[in-house]
Amino acid sequence: MSENHYGSIMKDGLWDSNVVFSQLLAMCPTMAVTTSGTNGLGMGLATTAVLVVSNILVSMIRHTVSSQVRIPVFVVLIATLVTVVDMAMNAWLHDLYKVLGLFIALIVVNCAILGRAEAFAVKSGVVASAVDGLAMGLGFTGALTVIGLIREFLGAGTLFAQASNLLGPSFAFLEMKLPGYGGALLMILPPGGFAILGFLLAGKRVMERRMDEKAAARAELAAA
Amino acid sequence: MSTQSLATQPIASPHAHGGNSVTRTMFRVQLALAPATLYGFWLFGWPSFFLWLLTILSCLGFEALSLKLMGSARIKVTLWDGSALLTGWLLAMTLPPWAPWWVAIIGGFIAIVIGKQVFGGVGQNVFNPAMVARVALLVSFPVPLTQWVAPLPVTSLAAPDFIHGLQIFLGNQATPDAMASASLLGYTKTELSRGIDLLHSLGGDHGALFSWAGTRAGSFGESASLLILAGGFYLLATGIITWHTPLAVLAGLAIPAAIGHAVDPTHYLSVSTHLLSGAAMLGAFFIATDYVTSPNTGAGQIVFGLGIGLLTWIIRTWGGYPEGMAFAVLLMNALTPVIDRFVKPRILGRDRKGKPLDIPESKGA
């Protein structure tokens, strides 16, 4: 396995097959949790932790589990990991846990996790699976944080409100507030989430088209 | 006749073009809106004029921007068809007359970009763009969207002049408290929640006469029921709309209102109050009749209209908001495809189920 291989896995997870922006998986946590940047970041990191470990474990047992029973086995594995994360967050990040509460437990049915187990980890080595889990998780975290920040900014006029709950008091400098802005409540509500996601998807497609055009022009130039 | 022109000429049936177009239809609707709008300017003064102007400009601007981003080659043609202009106009009619400038800009963005262009432009939108913007603004900014002012005719002394009006519009000057007022529906809802029944809360200054003439607090263009009704009859007379939708909306609102009022006049507003308040008239004649978002058949339009009326009454009576016309229109817009599916026109030569008719042998054959 070459360096290049891991690079393409990383690029896949972060951009090309981004869980939210390309695969449109995990819409339930995406819409429900991204009411603020901090919530999105916390949810994304929790999911990333589960995703990395579940990918590693699934990859390790891929030869011993027969394909007929693989789904229940994977679900039990993922459920165990989610329970661990759930309890850990309850213990150490209690304030954030109170906000995300239900959705942490629901990571277990997050289609992105079972999806990666099925689509990647059962067919790949342990290290590649770990890299894939990390890339997909970070891509998911980035998407949730971006959507959360935009919705938070438009809806409440703040950025990273209560970030110190998640990252510790030393990150309090991240918290910003736009003075004198009442906020558009709709952006915090689900329709705002869908609208923002729609605009981001459109933006990503425009960017990809531009990049393709540039690449094609460069290839033409090289050929000439 | 050259072959080229033959290709564009209908050859089978005797088709004739009535000369109608999107532009002409939109122009007629705007003509029908004009009396109520001009009266609104007179009632609420310069700030309402700036609001109206900027809402329309914002709609046109966002329409042009969307078309440009999509690479359309027909930007000018589409802009001049008047549909974006009408959307902006209708949106402005439903806004509080002294709403600040950014309400107009954001409203235009929501109506045109989110309500219309993302679905594909004219004729493709599922929901009425003006109502999408109205509801989004109301949910997002409840305070500026529910600040009504008492009507203050331009000719009266206390009315803001041009410069002062501009200052109010740009938000440099707070609305004087003395001029803040509640709309009739909002007022009765608040009083009911305080335990004061309608017989006591409705004083002399909320009589039906004021609603007909529009000299009461309310949205900029919704006040004068009489003028809107006149515009509606003009649309009916010119065949822009049919009687089905408006009548059904008003009936759907009036029938439950009559029953409720007969049962308990202390808690349910009378029929005339319901019909003459809020957006009832404007909604029935100008908003529910939108071609794109309403069913195609007369029977379908009756179902659609009754649904709007009934939902409006339910939201006004038990809902959290005093006025429910915009919500009702959006909800029924969502049901329009279903209504169109179940209420289909009969195909010529076939019965309602689509089976060929049993045509008896004609005598000649």
**Pair B131, B330: CB distance under 8 Å:** yes
Q: What is the mean pLDDT of chain B?
A: 82
- Which chain A residues touch B117 with a CB distance below 8 Å? none
B28-61, pLDDT tens digit by residue?
899 999 988 988 888 888 888 899 999 999 999 9
Query: Is residue B203 pLDDT above 60, yes or no?
Result: no
pLDDT of residue B57: 94
Query: Is residue B208 pLDDT above 70, yes or no?
Result: no
Query: Is residue B206 pLDDT above 90, yes or no?
Result: no
Assign B362 a pLDDT band (cuts: 50, 70, 90): low
Assign B213 a pLDDT band (cuts: 50, 70, 90): low
pLDDT of residue B179: 55
- Which chain B residues touch A185 with a CB distance below 8 Å? 139-142
- Which chain A residues touch B142 with a CB distance below 8 Å? 185
ipTM confidence score: 0.80
- Which chain B residues touch A184 with a CB distance below 8 Å? 106, 140-141
B297-350, pLDDT tens digit by residue?
889 999 999 999 999 999 988 888 888 889 999 999 999 999 988 888 778 878
Residue extents of the structural domains in chain B = 21-182, 193-216+241-343
Contact between chains at A191 and B136 (C-beta distance less than 8 A): yes
CA distance B218 to B279: 9
pLDDT of residue B4: 46
B134-187, pLDDT tens digit by residue?
999 988 888 778 777 777 666 665 667 777 777 777 765 555 554 556 677 777
pLDDT of residue B107: 93
- Distance between B310 CA and the closest CA of chain A, angstroms: 25
Query: Is residue B1 pLDDT above 50, yes or no?
Result: no
pLDDT of residue B74: 82
Which amino acid is located at B229 in the chain?
Answer: L
A210 CA to centre of own chain: 25
pLDDT of residue B250: 93
CA distance B52 to B221: 10
Contact between chains at B141 and A182 (C-beta distance less than 8 A): yes
Query: Is residue B207 pLDDT above 60, yes or no?
Result: no
- Distance between A140 CA and the closest CA of chain B, angstroms: 25
| Nearest-10 crossing angle of helices A37-60, A94-105 | 50
For residue B70, give the chain A residue with the closest CA: A206
The pTM of the whole model exceeds 0.90: no
Who among B114, B118, B141 is closest to A184 (CB)?
B141
Query: Is residue B112 pLDDT above 70, yes or no?
Result: yes
pLDDT of residue B2: 41
Contact between chains at A186 and B143 (C-beta distance less than 8 A): no
pLDDT of residue B113: 92
pLDDT of residue A190: 87
Which amino acid is located at B315 in the chain?
Answer: I
Who among A182, A186, A198 is closest to B139 (CB)?
A186
Assign B73 a pLDDT band (cuts: 50, 70, 90): confident
pLDDT of residue B315: 92
Ranges of residues in chain A with a pLDDT under 50 are 1
Q: How many interchain CB pairs under 8 A, A with B?
A: 17
For residue B144, give the chain A residue with the closest CA: A182
Contact between chains at A186 and B140 (C-beta distance less than 8 A): yes
Q: Where are the alpha helices (DSSP H) in chain A?
A: 3-11, 27-33, 37-60, 70-92, 94-105, 111-119, 126-156, 163-167, 185-188, 190-223
